[in-house]
């Protein structure tokens, strides 16, 4: 037996980037990674039939949990990034001519970049600013609607500052005006209730790995009935899978895992929100108490994801701070943007300077977060900030 001590576990406080696969999800996936390896499109033998049956059950469950009117509204993708692109570019490509669409400056890059690509193709795109809390009002959206507005895209919960946009009200506005409404629900699905049925969520993007499912699988919920009539063009071709919208062999284990993960997250939503929200509130109180006058909270505390805390430290070098916190799994913003040296576009949009945006941290608390994790985070962050400021 080795005499070496086991490596100390690093507290994981980056649940907005990804979540660990729940053991119950892993168990549900396991048969489809082994003996039940069939292709769900193989219609001539039992291996394919059993795989198809597993996909059908998963699709039915996801349709129910995501408020779809039928399982056919669930289109499997590789994740919310692909779903966002399919929703935005697919709707545009199905249009006979360029029109107008509305989005928000704090959206994920997988929404902003497709919109900007369409602007280069002749579409008129309005990127609305947000207030200092990160919110956009339905009145602001209504004020910029035009006769040829075809799509409004507003995320349900921000991936950096956790703010919850008023998507129910925005959806109702779009429904009244006959405009398609898309929401990136990657951070929200399972964690907060989403409008269901005929309440106007026409296109909903989801990623399994944000709610304790596997990476590499997600879906786009596409409304099939009602008005406005939705038509999407596929982004790729070959095979006719997923109603012709997303060809390719389905990852049966991933689809089963996503369904099980969302079932568990929804079932445990209220108790977990209360637990994680309490830890988040304690984290903020203790940080504020430890670094009085040196830290401020970003976003709108009364409208935020339970596990989100985004803070800015006064007079601190953000890059150095992250380096000093190697013993914590945290981030300064979106994992999808961490390869660039640019400060968070979300924090810039709510009025931060570039140096303030760089001196910010995003804490993402989740199912595995403990009181001890919070205590360690406060101790290490407090020590690192005070050291930079020459305080002891």
Residue positions counted in the chain: 392
Element (H, E) at 85: helix 80-93
Q: Band the pLDDT of 84: cuts 50, 70, 90.
A: very high
- CA 329, 332, 336, 339 torsion-angle sign: negative
Distance, CA of 316 to CA of 318 (rounded, Å): 6
Distance, CA of 316 to CA of 207 (rounded, Å): 34
Q: Band the pLDDT of 5: cuts 50, 70, 90.
A: very low
How far CA 77 is from CA of 4, 37, 92, 186, in Å, comes to 44, 19, 19, 13
Asked whether the predicted pLDDT for residue 197 surpasses 70, the reply is: no
Q: Band the pLDDT of 196: cuts 50, 70, 90.
A: confident
Q: Band the pLDDT of 210: cuts 50, 70, 90.
A: very high
Q: What is the DSSP string of 222-267?
A: E--SSSSPP----SS-SS-TGGGTS-S---HHHHHHHHHHHHHHHH
Distance, CA of 367 to CA of 127 (rounded, Å): 34
Distance, CA of 236 to CA of 221 (rounded, Å): 18
The whole-number pLDDT of residue 198 equals 56
Distance, CA of 135 to CA of 182 (rounded, Å): 17
Distance, CA of 161 to CA of 347 (rounded, Å): 8
Short-list 314, 317, 260, CA closest to 287: 314
- Tell me how crowded residue 154 is: count the other CB atoms within 10 A of its CB: 24
The whole-number pLDDT of residue 44 equals 96
Mean pLDDT computed over every residue of the chain: 93
Strand arrangement, sheet containing 308-313:
295-297, 308-313, 360-364
Query: Helical H runs in 107-226?
Result: 109-120, 138-144, 167-177
Q: Band the pLDDT of 8: cuts 50, 70, 90.
A: low
Task: Kindly state the DSSP code that residue 331 receives in the 8-state scheme.
Answer: B
Q: Is 336 a catalytic residue?
A: yes
**pLDDT tens-digit map of 180-191:** 999 999 999 999
Active-site entry in 115, 174, 219, 336: 336
The residue-averaged pLDDT of 230-240 equals 90
Whether 24 and 264 have beta carbons less than 8 Å apart is answered as yes
The residue-averaged pLDDT of 102-127 equals 98
- List of E strands, the chain: 74-77, 100-104, 124-128, 149-153, 180-184, 203-207, 218-222, 295-297, 308-313, 360-364
Cβ partners under 8 Å of residue 274, min gap 6? 306
The whole-number pLDDT of residue 48 equals 96
Short-list 260, 256, 257, 259, CA closest to 214: 257
Q: Omega before 354 cis (within 30°)?
A: no
What are the tokens at 336?
């999808």
Distance, CA of 105 to CA of 89 (rounded, Å): 18
The residue-averaged pLDDT of 360-381 equals 96
The residue-averaged pLDDT of 1-6 equals 45
Task: Kindly state the DSSP code that residue 11 receives in the 8-state scheme.
Answer: P
Distance, CA of 213 to CA of 230 (rounded, Å): 29
Indicate the Cα dihedral angle 383, 385, 389, 392, nearest 10°. -10
Q: What structural domains does the chain harbor?
A: 23-267 (3.40.640.10), 269-388 (3.90.1150.10)
**pLDDT tens-digit map of 117-151:** 999 999 999 999 999 999 999 999 999 999 999 99
**pLDDT tens-digit map of 157-185:** 999 999 999 999 999 999 999 999 999 99
Distance, CA of 348 to CA of 356 (rounded, Å): 9
Phi, psi angle pair for 15, to nearest 5°:
-70, -10
The whole-number pLDDT of residue 6 equals 44
The whole-number pLDDT of residue 134 equals 97
Distance, CA of 171 to CA of 183 (rounded, Å): 9
Q: In 3-state terms, what secondary structure has residue 324? A: helix
Q: Band the pLDDT of 2: cuts 50, 70, 90.
A: very low
């Amino acid at each position: 037996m080795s005499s070496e001590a086991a490596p100390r576990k690093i507290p994981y406080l980056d649940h907005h980037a990804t979540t660990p696969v729940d053991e119950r999800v892993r168990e549900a996936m396991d048969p489809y990674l082994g003996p039940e390896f069939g292709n769900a499109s193989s219609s001539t033998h039992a291996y394919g039939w059993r795989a198809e049956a597993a996909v059908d059950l998963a699709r039915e469950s996801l349709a129910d949990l995501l408020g779809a009117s039928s399982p056919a509204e669930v289109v499997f993708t590789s994740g919310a990034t692909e779903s966002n692109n399919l929703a935005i570019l697919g709707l545009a490509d199905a249009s006979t001519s360029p029109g107008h669409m509305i989005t928000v400056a704090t959206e994920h890059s997988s929404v902003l970049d497709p919109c900007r690509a369409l602007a280069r193709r002749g579409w008129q795109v309005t990127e609305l600013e947000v207030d200092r809390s990160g919110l956009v009002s339905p009145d602001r959206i209504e004020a910029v609607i035009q006769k040829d507005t075809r799509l409004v895209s507003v995320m349900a919960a921000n991936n950096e500052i956790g703010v919850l946009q008023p998507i129910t009200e925005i959806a109702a506005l779009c429904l009244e005006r006959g405009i398609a409404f898309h929401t990136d629900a990657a951070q929200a699905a399972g964690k907060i209730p989403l409008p269901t049925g005929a309440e106007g969520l026409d296109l909903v993007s989801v990623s399994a790995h944000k709610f304790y499912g596997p990476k590499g699988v997600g879906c786009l919920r596409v409304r099939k009935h009602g008005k406005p009539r939705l038509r999407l063009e596929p982004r790729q071709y070959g095979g006719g899978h997923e109603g012709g919208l997303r060809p390719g062999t389905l990852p049966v284990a991933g689809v089963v895992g996503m369904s099980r993960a969302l079932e568990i997250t929804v079932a445990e939503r209220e108790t977990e929100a209360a637990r994680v929200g309490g830890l988040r509130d304690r984290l903020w109180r203790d940080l504020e108490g430890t670094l009085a006058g040196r830290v401020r909270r970003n976003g709108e505390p009364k409208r935020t994801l339970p596990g989100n805390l985004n803070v800015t430290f006064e007079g601190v070098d953000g890059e150095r701070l992250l380096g000093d916190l190697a013993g914590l799994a945290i981030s300064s913003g979106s994992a999808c943007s961490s390869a660039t040296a640019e400060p968070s576009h979300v924090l810039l949009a709510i009025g931060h300077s570039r140096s303030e945006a760089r001196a910010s941290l995003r804490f993402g608390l989740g199912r595995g977060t403990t009181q001890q994790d919070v205590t360690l985070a406060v101790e290490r962050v407090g020590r690192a900030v005070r050291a930079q400021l020459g305080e002891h």
